[in-house]
Amino acid sequence: MKTELMLGNRALARGAWEAGVEFAAGYPGTPSTEILETLAHFPEVRSQWSANEKVAFEEGMGAAIGGIRVLVTMKHVGLNVAADPFMVFPYAGTNAGFVLVSADDPGMHSSQNEQDNRYLARMAKVPILEPSDAQECKDFVGLGLQLSEEFQTPVMLRTTTRLAHHKGLVSLGERESVPQKEFVPDPRRFSVPIYRRILRPQVEARLDRLREYAETTPVNRLEEGTGEIGVVTSGIAYQYVKEILPEASVLRLGMTYPLPANLLRDFCARHETVYVIEEGEPFIEEFIQTLGITNLVGKERFGVIGEYSPGRLAQAMGMEDSAVTELEAMPRPPMFCIGCGHRTVFSGLRQLKVTVAGDIGCYTMGALPPYEASHTTFNMGASIGTAIGLEQAGHERVVSIIGDSTFIHAGLPALVDAVYNGSNLTLLILDNSTTGMTGGQPHPASGSSLTGEQAPKLNLEQLCRATGVEHVQVADTWDRKAVLGAIRKALAHNGPSVVISEGPCVRLPEMRQREIIPYYVDEELCTQCDACFKVWCPAITRTDDGFPVIEAADCTACTVCAQVCPVDAMYPFAQETLPLA
């Protein structure tokens, strides 16, 4: 059988393809993004980025009711956005298989919170599968779809960052052909909310049947060891347990909702001490406690915060003499890329000394030095509502800042609200034609689709005008004066106003592959006034003689340094024209 070293997320995509998925939708979010990016290469699966997670979920729901197998993907907080359909869908239940991938981020590598979405699935009464390695990422998609069809329920497949973004060897299979299921309209099931009362007991009955299934499913696997120690574990933590306790008896739970009460009772009775090792909240542990079992060691010892690791677990078990001490090293927070169009915006905002309500995207980095020009960040789309609230609390000169993708995702209703409720909002939309932070995924205003086809391009300027905003101005994001001037005018305008700073993300292929002439410092002209250093471009460093020097291979010819140079000592100079690799 062919094996391949594969990222967990790519394995999930492969699993969906092999299991006959025909439609896949989601919204980019770390650590889930690569699943759909991979699926886009399989022509048998119609894959798309949706406007937001709620829309993606609803599209998936429709496709599954309509009779084809579906995969929907999102990061943990994305499920908050999709929670509305997620809580209702299980009542009707699905027709064809529906698997939701919820990618949780313990340790908050690229997220604003830690959130264990197993609780959301339990609230929705939806079964949960938790793979432990890349191979299972692939296999559990197929299993999830089978369960989904057998029990007529959506299934959540929960991954975590380390699982989604680790690579392991995966054996590959062929695509299964799954005939489309017939959609039979049924008002009781699908159409009339009041009838959901009739469906309500059926949800509980289904859970009872799933409880029975959990007792015998092969993914809840007992591995007999030789020692006294018993371990109940799930997800990537299983690997860490095998690493540090090779002799222990392990009950590996691949299905973590509903949980197998008998299996757990029996396992805990046979061991003096049972360690419950799961990343995130004490989801399994609390369930075992409800069975009246007390010989458990879990979160009290291992903690709920952050990621687990073999080292952390070994230490918590007293297997290590002492912790290894880190050497002191100054931090290195991330920063805007060389040539990033956000730089001019944040240096302008810093200059204007306004209060800035920020949003989710690369521009959260505007809160860091040297700009320190973003004062709140919460969740997708929150910049606009937060600014309206700050205004209500008496703060003047408040600016909302939001990226194009985030604006489409959740900003639009808030802008409508700003107009409707007579806010004096100044909104800055950073339009870089892509979803930048997650690595450059197209969205409805990009002009292309996930699969690279041309797509209708939403016109953000017209959209803003249509909400009733009269003052809408577009500026070239690399033109410092234009950006600053536009923000000034917008602040002075009485009533809601929008500034769209436009310019593609420098990481987009079309920007990386274009021919450019890098900028160069003419030391004959340079007076060492250091104005160019205030651009904070990482491509500009200092020579031993104190002159600025631009790394030609890194320069994107954004021109911003040349704009601030008072003596025109910086200009394009074609030593050799290199495409940016």
Interface contacts to other proteins, rule CB under 8 A: 5, 7, 30-31, 33-34, 109-110, 162, 165-169, 236, 239-240, 242-243, 309-311, 314, 323-327, 329-337, 362, 364-365, 368-370, 437-439, 536, 538, 553, 581
How many Cβ atoms sit within 10 Å of the Cβ of residue 320? 14
Distance CA 522, CA 574 (A): 13
Residue 263 beta carbon to other proteins: minimum distance, rounded to whole angstroms: 23
Is the Cβ of residue 354 or residue 437 nearer to other proteins in the bound state?
Answer: 437
User: Amino acid identity of 293?
Assistant: I
Q: Which two tokens stand for residue 351?
A: 């200059």
Give 360's DSSP letter: S
Which residues are within 8 A (CB) of 562 and not within 5 positions of it... i.e. 6 or more apart? 519, 568, 570, 571
Q: Which two tokens stand for residue 378?
A: 């919460």
Place of tokens 């911003």: 560
Is the Cβ of residue 63 or residue 511 nearer to other proteins in the bound state?
Answer: 511
| Contact assessment for residue 99 and residue 56, using Cβ atoms and an 8 Å cutoff | no
Residue 109 beta carbon to other proteins: minimum distance, rounded to whole angstroms: 6
User: Amino acid identity of 315?
Assistant: Q
Is the Cβ of residue 246 or residue 413 nearer to other proteins in the bound state?
Answer: 246
Output the CA angle 74-78-81, nearest 5 degrees. Answer: 135
Is the Cβ of residue 105 or residue 285 nearer to other proteins in the bound state?
Answer: 105
Distance CA 104, CA 115 (A): 7
Residue 113 beta carbon to other proteins: minimum distance, rounded to whole angstroms: 14
Residue 475 beta carbon to other proteins: minimum distance, rounded to whole angstroms: 23
Which residues are within 8 A (CB) of 422 and not within 5 positions of it... i.e. 6 or more apart? none
Residue 93 beta carbon to other proteins: minimum distance, rounded to whole angstroms: 34
By C-alpha distance, which of 103, 136, 29, 48 is closest to 444? 48
SS (H, E, C) 378-389: CCCCHHHHHHHH
Place of tokens 């007579």: 422
Is the Cβ of residue 110 or residue 379 nearer to other proteins in the bound state?
Answer: 110
Is the Cβ of residue 239 or residue 563 nearer to other proteins in the bound state?
Answer: 239
**403 CB-contact burial (10 Å; exposed 0-12 / middle 13-18 / buried 19+):** buried
Residue 257 beta carbon to other proteins: minimum distance, rounded to whole angstroms: 25
Residue 5 beta carbon to other proteins: minimum distance, rounded to whole angstroms: 5
Is the Cβ of residue 335 or residue 419 nearer to other proteins in the bound state?
Answer: 335
Residue 173 beta carbon to other proteins: minimum distance, rounded to whole angstroms: 19
Is the Cβ of residue 422 or residue 538 nearer to other proteins in the bound state?
Answer: 538
Q: Which two tokens stand for residue 316?
A: 């918590």
Q: Which two tokens stand for residue 136?
A: 């299972």
Q: Which two tokens stand for residue 113?
A: 């919170």
Residue 166 beta carbon to other proteins: minimum distance, rounded to whole angstroms: 4
Is the Cβ of residue 21 or residue 170 nearer to other proteins in the bound state?
Answer: 170
Measured torsion, CA atoms of residues 513, 430, 379, 418, in degrees rounded to the nearest 10: -160
Residue 550 beta carbon to other proteins: minimum distance, rounded to whole angstroms: 14
Distance CA 378, CA 359 (A): 7
By C-alpha distance, which of 198, 200, 199, 145 is closest to 175? 145
Residue 530 beta carbon to other proteins: minimum distance, rounded to whole angstroms: 12
Cis bond upstream, residue 31 (ω within 30):
yes
Is the Cβ of residue 294 or residue 325 nearer to other proteins in the bound state?
Answer: 325
Is the Cβ of residue 40 or residue 414 nearer to other proteins in the bound state?
Answer: 40
Place of tokens 């993907």: 73
